[in-house]
A and B are shown apart, each in its own frame.
Chain A
Amino acid sequence: MMLLRYAVSRIATMLLTLWVVSVLVFVIINLPPGDYLSNQIAELRATGQAEGVAKAEFLRTEYALDRPIWEQYLIWVGFAPGPQGFSGLIQGNFGWSFEFDRPVGEIVGDALWLTVLVNLAAVLFVYLVALPLGVLAAARSETWVDYTAGFVGYLGLATPNFLLALMLFYYGHKYFDLPIGGLMAPQFEGEPMSWAKVKSILVHLIVPTFVIGTSGAAAMMQRLRANMLDELSKPYVETAIAKGMKPSKMLRKYPLRMAFNPFVADIGNLLPAMVSGSVLVSVVLGLQTIGPYLLTALRSQDQFLAGFVLMFVAFLTLVGTMISDMLLVLLDPRIRMGNTRT
């Protein structure tokens, strides 16, 4: 019951936050001078291409870019009628992408599942690498295991992802015949799922997963090690060992569980990170995730596309924090909401 009441109040604040975010997003996107179409027109003029200017002019009136900014905002969200009546975010119309000349909903829909796929693979990689290494480094702290793990971890953090990607592509192709860029062989795109297609995707995922994963793994490893060391120095550990408990069992049963707490809290960040986290890498590796779309949209002031993606990320962040808060309340009896109990 208490949880339900908490959830309802959280949803109310969420809507309010979303509204504030929508205003901020729209204002910030429109801060640079000009808009997509006037830039487009200037570009066409500058290169002497008369054709196309008329089309851009047409789009400008069609999408109300000739109105003042506050009016554009209201039309975008769906509070005010546009040239063709009410049709905004609230009405389920996510707008038009000028850059890609397709409805925003279509672009985002296509890219979304690939984004999730890439990032899930990366998260999996992070957990598989970071957890054992972090625990090992803490348990054998100040030995060569610890130092090696630390060194590798720092290397992962310090190497720029795009550089790592290019290196892996070059040598991966040269020695292992790995494909360069993309998420599947081109002929599979738009095809129904098949064994060959799955295989192609898996092969294409190797380099991106490694690249996105390494820096994340390094950060997580260090955090886990620090948390573990904290726990390991506590009296209960000594007590357990003194009473003859096997170290490996002891480690699993108590300090590891304690050290895990921050990772549950991290679930909140996981969702938005899946969308925005790998923007740069996706751009460099030419993956068809949402990242490159967002970057192009921001650069070219393709405002409806950029606006929608940012709103979407904000929405995911809110949902994610809510989920993690609820989970923490359920999982860790020591955490209580301040005002519900005394």
Chain B
Amino acid sequence: MLDRSLLPRLPGLRLLTAALASTLLQFSGAAAQPPVAETPYWADEIDKGAMPPAADRIPQEPLVVDLVAKGRTTGVQGGKLRTLVGRSKDIRQMVVYGYARLVGYAPDYTLQPDLLRAVDVEDERKFTLHLRRGHRWSDGAPFTSADFEYWWKYITLNEEITPSGPPEWMIVDGKLGTVTFPDAHTVVFEWDTPNPGFLPLLAQARPPFIYRPAHYLRQFHLDFADPEDLFTLIEQERVKSWAALHNKVDNMYKFDNPDLPTLQPWTNVTGEDQNSRAIFVRNPYFHRIDSEGTQLPYIDTVEMGIVGGGLIAAKANAGEVDLQARGLDFRDVAILKKGEVDGGNYRVNLWANGTASQIAIYPNLNFADPVWREVMRDVRFRRALSLGIDRRMINRALYFGLANEGGMSALPQSPFYDPTDLDAWSTLDLDRANALLDDMGLTDRTPAGLRRLPDGRPMEFVVETAGERQEEENALAIITDTWRELGIRLIMRPLDRDILRNRIYAGLSMAGVWYGWDNGLPRAETDPQYVAPTQQEFFAWPMWGQYYQTMGELGEKPDYPPAERLLQLNWDWAHTDDPAKREGIWNEMLDIHADQQFAIGILNGAPQPVVVSRRLRNVPEEAVWAYDPGAHFGIHRMDEFYFADDPQQAAVE
């Protein structure tokens, strides 16, 4: 019931919901909320008096999750979940998986308050965040607006800790927003003009943590701590300054400091000298409970083993994990399935990848060679390239035909999914592709049958890759054959990821291969910046992106009509709050991409194997595997997964 969606913009409705909230306040703890059961895991602490009973640990207004309504089952507390990561710094995945955010995505990708009780939005420029009363950090200290104040005044505005100044997103249309703290449970963010990207930002897999445990961090801050104590600490930790020390302990995302209080479902309790595993135990003060009054998370501890990336599949095969997707590739499916049959006591689910394209080729419209640039800027050339790809064959060869063939467009789970966009210029048609190229006047050929550029050079199209993914190179090898029939020779060049990026930004690279848009699941309220030429990180227009990012200091001004149109649409989107208009804008932008083939997508929804213990419940059979939006397991709410041995229940699933 408290799981309300973000308050609508209509003033009348907003009042209504506010009234509803106050009614709930009166009833909270009594009728609206089931009695809270004690947590066996903490029984000793509670007996000793080291920890208050569960009913006093949860906020007065907890988040009550109705699992049955979600199509899940209510579970029991307990158990240890084993999972693996490939590098020691990947223990930060626990923040991603835990996915307790101020506001977070629900499984249908709408935004819902989570840590917050509610958010009031006025004209998308004033955001009033309401905290839950009685909400506490994992060490039992209250979570209040003072924690937001600490972030704003003593971290963001402190020049020693943040020499680069307030984050970019605090500045809208050139003006810095304000943050005020009317009372202990209210925080107000306000800008002069709309900042529609604010809430989605808070729901990211790696959000800006705009709150910090002030009571803990103060001891490392020069404004609060005793300078002498601080100096001893600096010496001890072998860092160079107090700001460096503060930065070292203040790692809400890295999650590597066991002393740093958290609001996530599990807290890190790993000592510093652990190199091969990290242990996370349930946060006794977590704010979610199920409708039967059991505090979440269900699972007591998570053990995250750190092993070489190559061993993850082998260990999963040996049944040494309870939940694993990271580090597993589609090509591991064979060995995983074998383990499943050999009594590995797990099952392998195949989820769909959430990027807009698994593999996409980006012709660099800002390439330094003027002749090539002219050719690539001709939309007929890009369409011909796309028409000359045998997506069916790539899908069959690399993914057993399990991915979706087509160009870069929104995925089926997005409201903007449009099969015409997916199919536009993306079915193999060599005759049509050849006709397009002939039409461009590229009819002159070398003795070997390659087309010649207008200045007489043979068409040798160099595609550079990050050299990390076998599938990219295999796909390009297949494309080489069909492009050869268009009279274009594809030359693949594997580089290191950073070198590739720098070459593209500098205009030295003819074309690059990368994933499609990270977010293949846009909604009307998703910031469309990444589909407009505003970021050099989109390999088709690095210079235009630089121009936008540096406000005209570097790069080139877009001088290509469809790109200019995208830029205009992006501006329009940010300056309207009419959902219908935004939908229109999104649709037009996606149509432009499909029509223009700025990035030549090959397929999407490639299967991601997910190994799930047969004892683990509530894990979806089919879902989208995406970092953002979705935070990998986060959107599926790992705190609702639980262990059960009952075979009947397993059969029901």
Interface set of A (CB-CB < 8 Å, partner B) = 32-34, 39, 42, 45-55, 57-59, 61-62, 82-84, 87, 93, 96, 99-101, 103, 105-106, 110-111, 162, 166, 169-170, 173, 180-184, 186, 189-190, 283-286, 288, 292, 296, 301
* Contact residue among B88, B206, B243, B274 (Cβ-Cβ distance under 8 Å from A100): B88
> Does B25 sit at the interface, judged by CB under 8 A?
no
Q: Report the minimum CB–CB distance from B275 to chain A (whole Å).
A: 5
Report the bound CA distance from A54 to B320 in whole Å: 38
Complex interface: chain A residues within 8 A of B248 (CB): 101
Complex interface: chain A residues within 8 A of B568 (CB): none
Report the bound CA distance from A45 to B168 in whole Å: 11
How many B residues have CB within 8 A of the partner chain?
Answer: 59
A288-B163 contact in complex given A32-B498, A180-B311, A181-B311, C-beta closer than 8 Å: no
* Contact residue among A84, A106, A181 (Cβ-Cβ distance under 8 Å from B240): A84
A180-B164 contact in complex given A32-B498, A49-B204, A51-B209, C-beta closer than 8 Å: no
**Nearest 7 interchain pairs by C-beta:** A286-B308, A186-B277, A46-B537, A286-B307, A57-B164, A51-B208, A84-B240
Chain A CB within 10 Å, residue with most, of B207, B315, B499: B315
Question: Nearest CB to that of B539 among chain A residues?
Answer: A46
Report the bound CA distance from A53 to B162 in whole Å: 10
> Are B498 and A47 within 8 A (Cβ)?
no
> Does B453 sit at the interface, judged by CB under 8 A?
no
Complex interface: chain B residues within 8 A of A33 (CB): 498-499, 502
Q: Report the minimum CB–CB distance from B37 to chain A (whole Å).
A: 30
> Does B556 sit at the interface, judged by CB under 8 A?
no
* Contact residue among A42, A47, A58, A284 (Cβ-Cβ distance under 8 Å from B164): A58
Q: Report the minimum CB–CB distance from A179 to chain B (whole Å).
A: 9
> Are A103 and B238 within 8 A (Cβ)?
yes
Complex interface: chain A residues within 8 A of B88 (CB): 100
Chain B CB within 10 Å, residue with most, of A183, A186, A283: A186
Chain B CB within 10 Å, residue with most, of A55, A83, A284: A55
Q: Report the minimum CB–CB distance from A280 to chain B (whole Å).
A: 11
Q: List 5 A-B contacts (CB under 8 A).
A: A83-B240, A111-B275, A170-B317, A173-B314, A189-B276
> Are B314 and A170 within 8 A (Cβ)?
yes
Complex interface: chain A residues within 8 A of B537 (CB): 42, 45-46
Report the bound CA distance from A182 to B84 in whole Å: 12
> Are B240 and A180 within 8 A (Cβ)?
no
Q: Report the minimum CB–CB distance from A256 to chain B (whole Å).
A: 40
> Are B276 and A288 within 8 A (Cβ)?
yes
* Contact residue among B243, B256, B519 (Cβ-Cβ distance under 8 Å from A58): B243
Report the bound CA distance from A283 to B311 in whole Å: 10
Complex interface: chain B residues within 8 A of A51 (CB): 167, 206-209, 253
Complex interface: chain B residues within 8 A of A184 (CB): 276
A173-B275 contact in complex given A52-B206, A84-B240, A84-B241, C-beta closer than 8 Å: no
Q: Report the minimum CB–CB distance from A336 to chain B (whole Å).
A: 48
> Are A58 and B315 within 8 A (Cβ)?
no
Q: Report the minimum CB–CB distance from B341 to chain A (whole Å).
A: 13
